Chain A
Amino acid sequence: MLINQFLLLGAVLFCIGVYGVIARRNAVLVLMSIELILNSVNINLLAFALRNGADIAGHTFALYVIAVAAAEVGVGLAIVLLIYRNRRSIALDELSTMKG
């Protein structure tokens, strides 16, 4: 297997995730897109870990990424909930209070 196939897969997922982050209105969907990004990163990590002689560090950090992602989703959703309670809407383009 070429390493490039995993790396390219990761890159594509990453870009799709970026698109989602920028283009989605709903905050939850944005968070989902962020999950896509994080997963692409994980694939990258593991691919490189395998390349470098099955380096265990890659696995370790991929695990850490999963953990962090979990934490982040938890906090992120809590925030979204708060926003929803205060603003009655979680459409991100409506949430800006800046004028002009």
Chain B
Amino acid sequence: MLASATAESAGWFLEHAWIIPIVPAVGFLFELFLGKRTGKLSNHGAYFGVAALFVALVLSCGAALNWIDRADAGHGDHSALVVSGAGESLPVLSAEGEGGHSVGTTATPVIKQWTWWSNGGTTFSIGQHVDGLAVVLLVVVSFISFFVHLYSLEYVRGDRRFTHFFAALTLFTASMLNMVIAENTLQLLLGWELMGLCSFMLIGHWWEEEPNARAALKAFFTTRTGDVGLLVGICILYFSTGTFSIKDTNEVALAGTIDSRVLMWAAIALFVGCIGKSGQFPLHTWLPDAMAGPTPVSSLLHSSTMVVAGVYLVARLYGVFYQGFDMAGGGVNLILVISVITILISGLLACVQTDIKKVLAYSTVGQLAYMMLGLGAGAWTMAVFHIFTHAFFKALLFLCAGSVAHSGSHHSFDMKKDMGGLWRKMPITFWTWMLGTVSLCGIIPFAGFFSKDEILANVGYQGYELFMWLGLLGAFFTAAYMGRATYLTFLGSPRGAAAGEHHEEAHDPHAGHDAHAAHDSHAAHDSHGAHDSHGAHDSHGPHESPALITVPLVVLAVVSVASGFLNALPFGLEYFTNWFEPASQEYFPKLSHAPFHWSEALISVAIALAGLLVGLGLFAKDFGPLKGLTKRFAPARWGHTFLVNKYYLDALYEQVVVRALAHPIARAAYWVNQRVIDQIVNTAGRISAGLGRWVYRWIDQGVVDGVVNGAGMTASGSGEGLKGIQSGKVQQYGALLFGAASVAAIVLVVYIRAK
């Protein structure tokens, strides 16, 4: 066992951070094997998961605190809190800082490494590499996962596969935590793939309904397509740097000893993996469909944690990307292009969705694109900070949507048909939703402002003015669709289920949702189980959700708001940067930070507010002036259709690409199977049959029977022949006697004479 800790004493939690993924993994095993057996005692296994996550959360917080201490101590001489005066006079800070100021921490990561398997000179190891980035993600993942577990206790109660749901959820958490602290790219890949598997399992949780199964497959295949790039990238990196270790790879990349073209191809390949996992254009099509899974899944995996894995990968191997895309040189690179395209298309798409979860899904795609934008422009810290804040408010928004569905719109997610006017009936949900929304839109002083707008500021500062304006346009769209969604869901007049009507079995707009599409409200439901058989339920109308749902909402709302202040530049708070950004490390490039300008801030806030008002107002009074626009105005109709069909990208992928590839391959395989393999088998069969027949005729009948019959005939023949001796005639016996005696005598005489 090689244990190489790179710090003297890093604190117990940091040194033992490798326990953090193990705890939920153990919880997973308990849930899987003991969940059903312990039954009510452990709430069918759910309590194992909750307990495991609680422990993981505690350990992660401990690790974070350790790290903060470590970061504060550092190797340098800078103080823990960099509190600088507010205002434009803040000097341009570089990583080294000026005037004794340094941004970021010089604390080194805590690395432990154990040899897993070594083969002919190559050593495969497993271990932990915990630095600021890892610690941030550890806290985020375990925190949100813990609250999602709690939320699911109520949300998924009575489900047909309650235990397996929790098992998959816990396993996912374990694998993501593993990926976060991964010491080398192979371990990272392990966590990455396991997350993909859990995503598949969870999206297709109600796989009996075909749309859910298809969505799960689509998610898996699309991310898999990206994973090819990831594998190629890892291989390129290994063969050029000679190591799997993340720290060493970054160091070698930044040292400039490797041909930059190799690094570029590695970076491109790795980025393809990120495109798949984080739902960037052109592989974004799976994320909205992934909303077929239960809402806790959407909240945990497809908004705050799993999809962030792509961003995390870029942030982790930032040295490779920085060198490969030559970010120091300031040119336009692949990341920027893809992310800005994604921002725009997702923003537009979100404006025409009727399903609230799909709105949030596209919003996620867009926000991930913002993070990528930041990373592509060199705004590493802000992108990571956005991961941090986005996780909280996006998870919050999803849980609110789930709460609405659970108790407000009778398991429907259709905003136009079944929601509206819910703000009175579900106040907690409404106000937490609002907090999440304003955070997302980037309105001061809520969290999103401090992260997203800082990304845009840095993007502009690094010289990518066009991208900054496009990003601001995206922010407008973000605010617009969120306003629209808010209006449709909570304001206005109640429609459909929100008005108290509930759709009977025949009505099937909920197909593909986590609402049970095989709808039979009077038979045993899955997620309805104990509650809400219509007899037992007193009020059919919307009402606030039970505590197990609303408490996580409130907690997340508080955190969403508070998290922003960790790095509120206007107020001079830079905790996040100072704690978590690596400064003056060999494995991390030197970054420059944009200073804060109130003027820029106010512009972006204004844009966001405008978007929000547009979103709310245009739909006010039941869709106001826009009502019937698409019917009246042909280009609007075309545009709308184009957007509703998701730019026909899905059609392109499924009908053209997949068909062109899969069908010929399938046909060829079928041909091989029928003509070649079956022929071989049939011929073998015919040969055997023929051989059998030949053997039967010639050997069995001929030889064997011949021998047997021959023996018989010989016996009877010889018997026939010899029977003459026993004729019963005495004289014949006498003749024989004398004859035999004489012969014997002759023999005797000859014998004696010969002697």
Question: Which A residues form the contact surface with B (CB < 8 A)?
Answer: 18, 21-24, 30, 92-93, 96-98, 100
> A75 → chain B, closest Cβ, in Å?
16
Q: Which residues of B contact A100 (CB under 8 A)?
A: 723
Indicate if the CB atoms of A22 and B735 lie closer than 8 Å: yes
B743 CB to closest chain A CB (Å) equals: 14
Partner of B728, one of A18, A22, A23, A96: A96
Contact between chains at B727 and A23 (CB < 8 Å):
no
> Shortest 5 CB-CB distances between A and B: which pairs?
A96-B728, A98-B728, A22-B735, A22-B731, A96-B729
Given contacts A22-B738, A96-B729, 17 further A-B contacts (CB under 8 A): A21-B731, A21-B734, A22-B732, A22-B734, A22-B735, A23-B731, A24-B731, A30-B731, A92-B729, A92-B730, A93-B729, A96-B727, A96-B728, A97-B728, A98-B727, A98-B728, A100-B723
- Whether the Cβ atoms of B731 and A92 lie closer than 8 Å is yes
B residues with a Cβ closer than 8 A to A are 723, 726-732, 734-735, 738
Instruction: Quote the shortest CB–CB distance from B186 to chain A (angstroms).
Output: 95
A79 to chain B, nearest CB (A): 12
Question: Please, which residues of chain A bring their CB within 8 A of the CB of B723?
Answer: 100
Enumerate chain A residues within 8 angstroms of B735, measured Cβ to Cβ: 22
B669 CB, min distance to chain A CBs, angstroms: 76
Among candidates B726, B731, B738, residue contacting A93 with C-beta atoms closer than 8 Å:
B731
Complex Cα gap A96–B738 (Å): 20
Which A residues lie within 8 Å of B738 (CB)? 18, 22
Bound complex: CA A100 to CA B727 (Å): 7
- A98's nearest neighbour on chain B, judged by CB, is B728
Contacts of B731 in A (CB 8 A): 21-24, 30, 92-93
Give the shortest distance, in Å, between A29 (CB) and chain B (any CB).
11
Chain A residues with Cβ below 8 Å from B732 are 22
Distance in angstroms between the alpha carbons of A61 and B22 in the assembled complex: 122
Q: Is the interface of B mostly helix, strand, loop or mixed?
A: helix
20 A-B pairs (CB sep. < 8 Å): A21-B731, A22-B731, A22-B732, A22-B734, A22-B735, A22-B738, A23-B731, A30-B731, A92-B729, A92-B730, A92-B731, A93-B729, A93-B731, A96-B727, A96-B728, A97-B728, A98-B726, A98-B727, A98-B728, A100-B723
Distance between A43 CB and nearest chain B CB, rounded to angstroms: 19
Cα distance, A22 to B730, chains bound together (Å): 9
Query: In the complex, how many angstroms separate the beta carbon of B726 from the nearest chain A beta carbon?
Result: 7
State in angstroms the CA–CA spacing of A30 and B730 once bound together: 11
Least CB separation from B731: chain A residue:
A22
Q: Report chain B residues within 8 Å CB of A97.
A: 728
CA distance A95 to B600 in the complex (A): 146
Q: Find the A residue at minimum CB distance from B735.
A: A22
With a CB–CB cut-off of 8 A, which chain B residues contact A98?
A: 726-728
Residues of A with C-beta under 8 A to B734? 21-22
Task: Give Cα distance in the complex from A23 to B732, angstroms.
Answer: 9
B720 nearest CB neighbor, chain A only: A100
**Residue among A18, A22, A92 with most chain B CB within 10 A:** A22
> Bound complex: CA of A93 vs CA of B734, how far in Å?
13
In the assembled complex, the CB of A83 is this many whole angstroms from the nearest CB of chain B, namely 11
Please, which residues of chain B bring their CB within 8 A of the CB of A18? 738
Q: How far is B729's CA from A92's CA once the two chains are assembled, in angstroms?
A: 7
> What separation, in Å, do the CA atoms of A92 and B730 have in the docked complex?
8
Chain B hits for A96, CB < 8 A:
727-729
Task: Specify which chain B residues have a CB less than 8 angstroms from the CB of A92 in the assembled complex.
Answer: 729-731
- Name the distance in Å between A13's Cβ and chain B's nearest Cβ: 15
Q: Which chain B positions have C-beta within 8 A of A30?
A: 731
Instruction: Enumerate chain A residues within 8 angstroms of B729, measured Cβ to Cβ.
Output: 92-93, 96
How many Å lie between the Cα of A97 and that of B730 in the bound state?
A: 12
Closest beta carbon of chain A to B517's beta carbon, Å: 94
Taking the closest CB of chain B, its distance from the CB of A84, in whole angstroms, is 16
Cα A22 to Cα B736 with chains together (Å): 9
Q: How far is the CB of B109 from chain A (nearest CB, A)?
A: 111
| A24-B723 Cα distance, complex, nearest whole Å | 23
- What's the minimum C-beta distance from A90 to chain B, rounded to whole angstroms? 12
Nearest A residue (CB) for B726: A98
Instruction: Kindly list chain B residues whose C-beta atoms are within 8 Å of the C-beta of A93.
Output: 729, 731
State in angstroms the CA–CA spacing of A96 and B729 once bound together. Answer: 6
Q: What is the distance, in angstroms, from B498's C-beta to the closest C-beta of chain A? A: 113
On chain B, the residues within 8 Å of A23 by CB distance are: 731
A35 to B727, CA, bound (A): 25
Task: Give min CB distance, B427 to chain A, whole Å.
Answer: 121
Shortest A88–chain B CB gap in Å is 18
- Which of chain A's residues have a CB closer than 8 A to the CB of B727? 96, 98
Cβ of A19 to closest chain B Cβ, rounded Å: 10
Cα separation A93 to B727 with both chains bound (whole Å)? 10
Give A14's nearest chain B residue, CB to CB. B738
CA distance A24 to B732 in the complex (A): 11
A26 to B729: give the CA distance in the assembly, Å: 13
Complex CA distance for A97 and B727, rounded to whole angstroms: 9
- Measured between alpha carbons, how far is A64 from B734 in the docked complex, in Å? 24
Residues of B within 8 A of A22 (CB): 731-732, 734-735, 738
Collect the chain B residues with CB atoms within 8 Å of residue A21's CB: 731, 734
Q: What chain A residues lie within 8 Å of B730 (beta carbons)?
A: 92
Name the residue of chain B whose CB is nearest to the CB of A96: B728
